[in-house]
A and B are shown apart, each in its own frame.
Chain A
């Protein structure tokens, strides 16, 4: 089976802009989770979706949002970008919620 794919892989934005990241899970996986990874804070959970519904949400401001489509593909959006949003954004899929996470390669976002 193909692994988790994320697009784009790299992105440069400026403060105040918004960004949309995309994730395609492993075929048959219905749960998609998003994480932010930075050197200082490690892996921080953003949210998890299952069957198009948000099941869990981490402690991030409302500028971070996401959605899941009927084919399990997911997008996350960050509005009004701040310098501190520069990070590696990882998507992970699993068969059901909170199960073994299969991570994608990530999208590296740089905010200038």
Chain B
């Protein structure tokens, strides 16, 4: 079954507020990937983290990979309406292959 847990499922924020989604696995992940899916669209790759404790930034987005390689987070600073969508994490758990979390739906109120 689904072994990559992602919270929260939904997040409502006011435009300009920050947003964070968390991804947790019961087992160590080889790497973690993050994707964004706009409403009506398909998932689009954002970034991949490989090293323990790794932090990467893309403009207002900050991605972290935990020291134990079992958790990850995506933080968006000062959300904009263009950030609306569903954010998925995906991890490789040994022989299980690439497993996606259920995603966090980001809803932004202007």
Contacts and interface: CB of A to CB of B under 8 A. Distances in A.
Contacts of A65: none
Interface in B23-49: 33, 35, 41-45, 48
A92 B33 CA distance: 14
Contacts of A98: 92, 97-98
Given A43-B88, A56-B97, A59-B1, A103 B44 contact: yes
A42 B102 contact: yes
A25 to B, nearest CB: 14
Interface of A: 33, 35, 41-45, 48, 55-56, 59, 90, 92, 97-98, 100-106
Interface in B54-110: 88, 90, 92, 96-103
The A interface is mostly helix, strand or loop, or mixed, namely strand
A101 B35 contact: yes
A64 to B, nearest CB: 16
Contact of A43 (B41, B44, B92, B103): B103
B44 A42 contact: no
Given A43-B103, A48-B97, A92-B43, 12 more contacts: A33-B98, A42-B102, A43-B43, A44-B100, A45-B100, A55-B97, A56-B96, A98-B92, A100-B48, A101-B90, A105-B41, A105-B42
B42 A90 contact: yes
A24 to B, nearest CB: 15
A102 B45 contact: yes
Contacts of B103: 42-43
A49 to B, nearest CB: 12
